[in-house]
Structure 1
Amino acid sequence: MTDIVDFGEFAGRWHRAASRWDALREFHDAWGYTVRPDAERWDRWSESGHKAYVRALMHGPEADEFEGVDLTLPIPAALDEWWELPFNSFAFDARIYETNPEYPPTVRPDPSGYGVANAVPEDSDLIPPGADRRVCVFMAENQYCNEWGYPAAEAHEPDPRVLVSLDEDEWALQARSISEFFLQLAVQRLPHELGRSVHFYDHDVDDMEALLTRVRAELPAFGFEPWYELQQDAIVHGGPDVLVYDMHGDMEGVTVVGRTARAVVDFAGRFGLDLDGVDLTEPGR
């Protein structure tokens, strides 16, 4: 990783990419992700040990592992395409992601009782009146505090929208397509694993609102929906060799992740931030 990557430019370019998978591959390459020679691919059909334990505890050892699945619904092509990508960092390094896949996707409300969220409420405009209000969940935060899935009413589409559960009875739009969701997920996970990062809290910055105003004005946003997870949301901005996560909720402030330590130092210098006494997190891989 020698050449500087302008993630502000990438933020505009991924919208115009012929394929979201091309943008996802480019993002992996930018952060230097490579599949380890000894890495084993995650079997998409495998059930987590905890889920198998809970299923047996609730319904007995002979319980149907597909009880939470509506087998009459098709699986969107984009989801299968993602699982088969040769550079899929989740499939080869799932520990980076701290999420649980659901394959085949399970519906909410979950007939098996394992999934947390309910269907999209009747008063929500996320689903047209009269349409199936269930959600097919294909990924969840480790403790199932948030679940991501596509509307059952759109299961027949090749690359449907993705919703995120905010609590048991509330859903929000997370991505305009499954392929966009997986680009979002990589943006949220890979840089923190492979880059150098620092988080600035209010007490680290003289004027946090002034800093955010400059970041929003000078560094292009990626154009995603806010990333909702664990009682907070984040908007991502891109700059030279850095990503800036504008965070709201339980962890207010700004996280800066650079491809190199120099990129973080340069960002701090540009925006008048003092790095003395601020811990710089090293790559984890």
Structure 2
Amino acid sequence: MSDVIDYGRFADRLLAVRPRWDLYREFHEEWGYEVPEGEPSWPRWSEDEHKAYVQRLKGESATGEDDPFKDVDLALPIPKALDEWWDLPFNSFTHTPRLYWTNPVYPPTVRPDPSGYGISEGLPEGSPFIQGDDVRVCIFKAENQYCNEWGYLAAEAGQEDPRVLVDVDDEGGWALQARSISEFFLLLAVQRLPTSLGWVLEFGYDDLEGGTPIGERLDRTYREMGLLPWRELGADTHAYGGPDVIILHDREGTGDHPLVIAGRTRAASAQAADLLGLEWSDDLPEPPLDPFLSPPVPPRRIVGIRLGRRPSVQVRRRGTASSGCH
């Protein structure tokens, strides 16, 4: 690892660049991600798919029931930033998609879906995101089981790096997930890479009981990283930063671990837990050092527990057979 990096200053770094690709690359390097040898394991599309898409754009292919792009509005441009992300040589999703528990959608499909297959709806009546009479959202990413979908407004498809929305409830509601596509992929990396490549402490609800509420302790001790809250599976996860550490706090508490500390070093995670007044134990053996197992297992996990309680070593991840949309 390099010198100490203060993620409490991440918001300042975020304001200094747009699009976010330089910061996206730096973040990968800071957490030790190395691109595997060989071609990406998840290409944007195959040669045949691309050929069919180009033919469809030219009106040279069938447009009936067998149309593979029935759910795509071919008249809409694809934002430059989305294609740039696919082409990044250091793109950890295309090379190691098992870290992410999400599916890409390319070319982006529209909601409401004219084919009737899409999960989410368009913008509901009265939505502040409606521009003119266009209620469509173009989906480019989805949670593994399509419990959530992320997309940009069809009305903003002509922009190089438009805003990203996420569907947040069963009533067709949408919320702002990121101020741009490039910021969305940086936010996604912040949510995934540290918990797979760092020293990780996970705290359950019982671990956070008593004393000052954990949200107040976090606000008093650390700075938020300047990213919007991550909205997935009902969560409202805020990212805080400090020296060599990132802390993810789900204010809705929808998962097994509403607080996760991920450090670039063991000392950084331990210090963060101590500063927040949390009790923890590291007496479990370390799991394998390969973070790319399926499902991925963080290579240097420390389990946060209250003293006197036996820690659980079960790790639940999205996309497993036992998980579902909650």
Q: Do both share a fold (TM > 0.5)?
A: yes
What are the Cα deviations for residues 250-281 of structure 1, in whole angstroms up to 9, with x where unaligned? 12631111112221112122222211379798
Tell me the distance in 2 between the aligned counterparts of 1:32 and 1:84. 20
152 and 267 in structure 1: CA distance in 2 versus 1, 3 angstrom threshold: same
Q: Does 1:101 align with 2:95?
A: no
187 and 278 in structure 1: CA distance in 2 versus 1, 3 angstrom threshold: farther
Whether contact under 8 Å (2:78, 2:157) holds in the other structure is: yes
In structure 2, the residue corresponding to 1:143 is in which secondary structure?
Answer: coil
Within-5 A mapping of 1:241-260: 241-247=244-250, 248-251=252-255, 253-260=258-265
279 and 20 in structure 1: CA distance in 2 versus 1, 3 angstrom threshold: farther
Tell me the residue number matched to 1:115.
Answer: 118
In structure 2, the residue corresponding to 1:127 is in which secondary structure?
Answer: coil
Tell me the residue number matched to 1:21.
Answer: 21
Once the 2 structures are TM-superposed, how far is the Cα of residue 46 of structure 1 from its aligned partner? 4.9
Tell me the residue number matched to 1:34.
Answer: 34
- The one-letter amino acid of 1:224's match is L
CA RMSD of aligned residues (A): 2.3
Of the three residues 206, 209, 229, the one matched with 2:232 is 229
Within-5 A mapping of 1:78-97: 78-97=81-100
123 and 132 in structure 1: CA distance in 2 versus 1, 3 angstrom threshold: same
- The one-letter amino acid of 2:37's match is P
234 and 209 in structure 1: CA distance in 2 versus 1, 3 angstrom threshold: farther
Greater displacement, 162-171 / 27-36:
162-171
Tell me the distance in 1 between the aligned counterparts of 2:108 and 2:193. 24
What are the Cα deviations for residues 42-99 of structure 1, in whole angstroms up to 9, with x where unaligned? 221259xxxxxxxxxxxxxx72211110000000001001111110001111111111
229 and 280 in structure 1: CA distance in 2 versus 1, 3 angstrom threshold: farther
- The one-letter amino acid of 2:266's match is A
Whether contact under 8 Å (2:2, 2:30) holds in the other structure is: no
Within-5 A mapping of 1:192-231: 192-207=195-210, 209-231=212-234
Of the three residues 69, 74, 78, the one matched with 2:72 is 69
Tell me the distance in 1 between the aligned counterparts of 2:18 and 2:125. 36
Of the three residues 268, 271, 284, the one matched with 1:266 is 271
Once the 2 structures are TM-superposed, how far is the Cα of residue 179 of structure 1 from its aligned partner? 0.7
Q: Does 1:131 align with 2:171?
A: no
Whether contact under 8 Å (1:126, 1:173) holds in the other structure is: no
Tell me the distance in 2 between the aligned counterparts of 1:79 and 1:281. 37
In structure 2, the residue corresponding to 1:227 is in which secondary structure?
Answer: coil
273 and 280 in structure 1: CA distance in 2 versus 1, 3 angstrom threshold: farther
Whether contact under 8 Å (2:246, 2:263) holds in the other structure is: yes
Of the three residues 140, 143, 149, the one matched with 1:141 is 143
- TM-score if structure 2 supplies the norm length? 0.77
Gaps of 5+ in 1: 48-61
- TM-score if structure 1 supplies the norm length? 0.88
Higher helix proportion, which one?
A: 1
Tell me the residue number matched to 1:59.
Answer: none
Of the three residues 176, 181, 184, the one matched with 1:181 is 184
% same residue: 51
What are the Cα deviations for residues 178-207 of structure 1, in whole angstroms up to 9, with x where unaligned? 111111111111111111212212311353
Greater displacement, 159-168 / 170-179:
159-168
In structure 2, the residue corresponding to 1:167 is in which secondary structure?
Answer: coil
Once the 2 structures are TM-superposed, how far is the Cα of residue 113 of structure 1 from its aligned partner? 2.8
Greater displacement, 160-169 / 68-77:
160-169
Greater displacement, 193-202 / 99-108:
193-202
In structure 1, the residue corresponding to 2:183 is in which secondary structure?
Answer: helix
